[in-house]
Amino acid sequence: MKFQSVDIGKTASAATIIFRSLRKSIIEGDLSDGEPLRQDEIARAFNTSRIPVREAIAMLEHQGLVKAIRYKGAVVACLSMQEADEIFDFRCLLEPEVIRAAVPKMTPEILSNARGFLEKFAAAQDPMEYGDLNRLFHSTLYGASGMPYHISVIENSMDRIDRHLRAQLVMTDGIERSSQEHLAILQACETGDADQAASLTYAHIHDAKVSLQEKLRSAD
């Protein structure tokens, strides 16, 4: 198994550190769909007991990144076409409303930060940067909404599909298309057009859904 290990034998927050490391590895694809999470191996890598490992795996299961299989234990959760559709349909409902609420509250600093992430996304060469910069762009704009619960739900939804979206961006023309869509969303925000920003956000997510569907079908 591939993940970044840390010696945390005497650290009180061992479960949280293990959770964050495993979560990062799942999202970035170092731990693939269906791969078992062997508690003994993880405990040795982090120089700790199995107790915080079990707690970390329970947190991952709560987020939908891991599932328990009888007689096999915890494995990285696979993403089915039906699950992907549901997640994207949910995002299409939620994210346009969040950005609609955010636009009137956006400051020049927020818009400048978002443009910076947009430019870094368009110029990125490392595929692992794409997902992070995409999320930073959106979360910077959404943060002005004052809707932290909605944003946390969006983040959890992104966790479930992030590793697949990264691959889709690399294997298709996703970087160029997403960059253009990001720019249109940002320009709507800069002009204060909340309805246009919401409409463009819906189209952006829906287009990503279609591209991911095509990728998953081709992998079958």
Say which CATH number the domain at 44 has: 1.10.10.10
**End residue of a domain, out of 76, 93, 127:** 76
Handedness of CA 211, 206, 32, 158 (dihedral sign): positive
The range of the structural domain enclosing residue 176 comes to 81-219
pLDDT value for 172: 58
Written as tens digits, the pLDDT of the chain (220 aa) is 666 666 655 545 889 999 989 988 887 778 888 899 999 999 999 999 999 999 999 989 887 789 888 878 899 988 777 888 899 999 999 999 999 999 999 999 999 999 999 999 888 877 667 778 988 999 999 999 999 999 999 998 888 887 777 766 666 567 788 899 999 999 999 999 999 999 999 999 998 888 877 766 765 5
Same domain as 143, residue 39: no
Query: 28: exposed, middle or buried (C-beta count within 10 Å: 0-12, 13-18, 19+)?
Result: middle
Same domain as 126, residue 20: no
CB 37 within 8 A of CB 75: yes
Q: How many whole angstroms separate alpha carbon 41 and alpha carbon 38?
A: 5
Exposure pattern of 152-164 as b/e (b: 16+ CB <10 Å)? eebeebbbbbbbb
> Would you say residue 1 lies in a domain?
no
Q: How many whole angstroms separate alpha carbon 91 and alpha carbon 41?
A: 36
pLDDT value for 114: 97
CA 134 to chain CA centroid, nearest Å: 9
pLDDT value for 63: 78
> Would you say residue 184 lies in a domain?
yes
> Would you say residue 67 lies in a domain?
yes
pLDDT value for 36: 93
Return the SS3 of 53: helix
pLDDT value for 186: 98
> Would you say residue 7 lies in a domain?
no
Domains identified in the chain, total number: 2
